[in-house]
Chain A
């Protein structure tokens, strides 16, 4: 009788544990399954009680077995695999291990609610396991199963410590495959094609290397959704050992694939969060670095009043935001600030208003075709004191900005541009991004040549002296920082002013 009461109480506690854990599982899966999580939740909430009632009424052994299977699904599938292995261990063990050794990657977390509900999912599954074991009548058998569970959790912890470790594996048959993923069609075609050529030049410049380096060049296209298929093929089918990419819009899609494959991804991208310092790294001056140099150069030129004429566009807005901070810090004045839509073609009224504010310089940034139209209309208004960040180097007709000064990628090795133009006379050298693309390939090559896991090598790398000058990275950071340079348009072409 006592045993019957004990089982009845345990069954009630087991059902409550299953129900509460099912609620947590549902919440957690909303982040991955969307509304499909509610179907999963309804199943987990309805089926176990139904099976238990069936068992109590009929003593059918299959009903009890099915109830046990549901418990096992919750404990193993949601508790141990998803809750413990995928979420709880990376949070605690992953964070700890990465803090003591760079051989372990820093864990990348999703939404706060997703992560914490994942931990709760694991804790809930422990209650499901405990009360599930209470339903087993024999104390001896219950004790043995508890011991197995404890040993199992310990084994999982040890397996995580062993498998989370990034180790050096020599490339298969001495060939290192580097995936090159950039859009070479659509609005990024000019940058993308120049990027590919810079990467090819880096590979062609290699001498006496221990391994052979193959480039797997793929056009991601400009659409991030379509790019995912290309990235998946490069990582899973081509089985590349590393990735060099460009354009933040594509880099953000490449990031999770590189992380899953545990291969380094060097992205010539300005969006800093893409560089997580685990497997993903960015390599280009930040908008803040561009803004700082621009404001310093403006001050050096005796400029005190600035008129801003900029297109409303994310990367341009980022430049303007950083620029305004530096302008204010150095005591310069924004005399006029106008942001226009990408569809604007007649800038004359905007130019008149800016001119009325009597600026020392007109800061302009826009994408084509607006950029060249703005340049033309500024010229028509006899305005030549023009400046920018990057923009003139992306112009289809740089001569429109003759005499303008601007900040852009550095070129410590100016011969790089000359060699590029000799090697690829039909490809326009887009100063922006190119030295970083070239240096990124060489950084990956250095990793393999020194016989180190390339991701660990990049985590440990604090400085690199390349064609773009000195690149530096703070410990644990995923962003290689570098100083931009001041350029001007002279004789219709970009020319480096100083470094």
Chain B
């Protein structure tokens, strides 16, 4: 059963929420609706998480459902697996992207493979929330974009919201999913605001969304770079360029249908992400869109990404992160006729 099969709950009055508050509301509503949802991780209890995404949940649900765990990411994910095997729906937090690496083995060898290994007898309905990517002036290990590791792993569902409405809707859907979900929360968007009538429901989380229609170029982004893509599209108007912005929302699965249709319409595409280019997620996007739509393409698919270097220190990150100007310059390298 997914969220979208259930009866809609009464809609509350509209309120202005940040993405962090929308995520908080999603967990709170999920915990109110389903007593099997439990939350644990580092500092998620009385502190409410270092980004305050779990603020107030400890007070409402108590120690038995919201708890600070020992400081060990493999332990957090490993024990979540055991809880999911016993009928709970754990929602766990990796405090920062680069701190999820100690849990890599549990995620790749067990979270991803348990259902297949047991021929579907053991499902792991758990959500691993990972605040990810940069543009927050973070010191080393606080700004990684590690999505390619997870997206390359069969058995994982990998999603990333770019706005508060999706944050709420997609997290509710992730928690109610019977598949394990890597939920990438773009840190730089935690404070983005929107007016929402909860419980807001956007499109199913395994689909991409066309956020802005255009006719000349499909600009594909996800998570933190969706804002950059929208800003680029706005700037491009003055240059007489009509950019269609596609927010992938789901990295695994990839919505071939929606993205392919957009690319066939515009005949040009570029993909935008913060992570390094080599072996990055953009390579998969470019390859599969080319394979499937080659005869509709007027130009090679471009990747506008971070450089192939470790994420830089705060004073240097502005040179690393793709900007609208950099995107427009890249689009200018195509031959336009």
Do the two chains belong together in a single complex? Answer: no
